[in-house]
Structure 1
Amino acid sequence: MLKVITAVSCACVTIEMGSMQPVAAEDVPQQLVGTWLAEDIGGGGVVDDLQSTLEIREDGTFGGMAGCNHFTGTFSLSGTKITFGPAASTRKMCVPAAMTQEQKFFEALRSELSWTVEGSKLVLVKAEGATAMKLALMTAGSQGADVTIRVPGADAVDRQAVRYDCGGKAVEAQYINAGAVSLVTFTIDGTFVVASNVISGSGAQYAGGQYIWWTEGDEATLFDVTKGENDQGIACKPAP
């Protein structure tokens, strides 16, 4: 068991599914459709490395990850007004910071809102004029940016790619070593992670974003720190 963050009991936000009917597909403006990442909730910002997402679909349904739990529901539209209906969510418990952001995220969606899209930004405003949430469009695809880092004193870079089976999920980890710098990169659940080696009592431990990657011998264990100190991790075994 890896003790990374001390968790405190916290009630999970769970909303029961209502009878709201989705809007017709042809009535959903195309600029609203997509997956949006919360950049600010109620003027209080968001937690770094904790993603709260809102997916607005052409069929009049919405969903996403609030911070700890996945959710789904339907919405209605009237011009620039949008009302998100009651949603059903999973019932996981995460660390207090994740649960607090999730609660604020759900509360921001509960009232009738006005929406505007400016470029790649979606702004949701409450009836009294206060900004409920600001979100950025998440784009899918293979495009990305190359990052070059010069490591003083390093003569060469050693790279090793290893494929793992992590609880039924295929994960390819790339270990990068240059002088005193030791990194591992991998993608899990659509999230690209760069983790840096940190002090460990045994094996090699890497920390990046919400994840801890711990290797011992040929095997590894993946921990999600948002699940708190009781997370047993996912065992990752070498795959062909």
Structure 2
Amino acid sequence: MIRLLSVCLILVLAACGTGDAVGSPQSENPLAGRSFESTGVTGRQLVEGTVIRLRFARDGQLAARAACNHLSGDFSLDGETLVVGEITQTNMGCDPSRHAQDEWLAGFLRSRPTWRLGDTDLVLRQGDVEIRLTERAERRQSTDGDPDGTRSTRLPSPPASAD
């Protein structure tokens, strides 16, 4: 009886240690949980005073902003390709150049650009367009998927000192 229990225990432990468990470092998406802001764009002139912001949530949702509207959709990685599903966006009353930039970013993201990630730098490329981004240090915890944090809740502050 003890021998049978020992064999069963060994089989159970062996089964637990095989394969790639969901959420293990080997299967984790390297973009998930990270936010980036553009540092340069080649092949497209951005509207003056605007940047591109991307937030890759751990649940597979991408939140983006290029000028005026908020964009969102599912994302995944297929090798060196960023795959973004259907994109939804807000419909703010933007001036034509900002509206066009939002539409352009939505199209770029849907075009399955290649991606390359360094320590804190992300490069997305499709054709002659390259977007260079750097990781943002998150100061706020978003409550609505907004990559700007404009409708976000601040993280709790540390307690004030007695001085």
Q: Please state how far the C-alpha of 1:57 moved relative to its aligned partner.
A: 1.4
Q: Which runs of 5+ in 2 are unaligned?
A: 1-21, 141-148, 152-163
The CA deviation at 1:116 is 0.5
TM-score in terms of structure 2 length: 0.60
Q: Which residue is equivalent to 1:130?
A: 128
Residue 49 of structure 1: how far off its partner (Å): 2.5
Taking the TM superposition and a 5 Å limit, the aligned residue runs for 1:158-237 are 189=150
Pair 25,92 (structure 1): closer, same or farther in 2 beyond 3 Å: farther
Change (3 A) 1:28 1:95: farther
Q: Which has the higher helix share?
A: 2
Structure with greater strand share of residues: 1
Equivalent residue number for residue 208 of structure 1? none
CA contact (8 A) 1:41 1:104 kept: no
RMSD over aligned CA atoms reads 2.7
SS in 1 for 2:98: helix
- CA drift of 1:32 comes to 5.3
CA contact (8 A) 2:38 2:51 kept: yes
Give the Cα separation in 1 of the matches to 2:150 and 2:90: 17
Q: 1:84 to 1:31 in 2, by over 3 A?
A: closer
Deviates more, 1:27-36 or 1:58-67: 27-36
Conserved 8 A contact 2:31-2:56: no
Pair 25,91 (structure 1): closer, same or farther in 2 beyond 3 Å: farther
Deviation at 1:42, TM superposition (A): 4.8
In the alignment, what sits opposite 1:217?
Answer: none
CA distance in 1, matches of 2:32, 2:121: 10
**Structure-to-structure mapping, 1:1-240, within 5 angstroms:** 27-31=27-31, 33-126=33-126, 130-141=128-139, 189=150
Letter in 1 for 2:120: S
Counterparts of 1:85 and 1:28 in 2: how far apart (Å)?
Answer: 19
- CA-to-partner distance for each residue in 1:160-203, whole Å, 9 max, x for gaps? xxxxxxxxxxxxxxxxxxxxxxxxxxxx938xxxxxxxxxxxxx
The superposition leaves residues 28-59 of structure 1 with CA deviations (integer Å, 9 ceiling, x where unpaired) of 43355411123344522423422331111122
TM-score normalised by the chain length of structure 1: 0.43
Number of equivalenced pairs:
120
Consecutive unaligned residues of structure 1, counting only runs of 5 or more, are 1-23, 143-187, 191-240
For 2:121 and 2:67, the matched residues in 1 are separated by: 20
Cα distance 1:41–1:75, how it changes in 2: closer, same or farther (>3 A)?
same
Q: Measure the CA separation in 2 of the matches of 1:120 and 1:189.
A: 23
Q: Distance in 2 between matches of 1:97 and 1:135?
A: 22
**Cα gap change, 1:135 to 1:83, in 2 (>3 Å):** same
Residue 58 to residue 82, structure 1, CA distance change in 2 (3 Å)? same
Structure 1 pair 64–77 and aligned structure 2 pair: CA distance change class (3 A): same
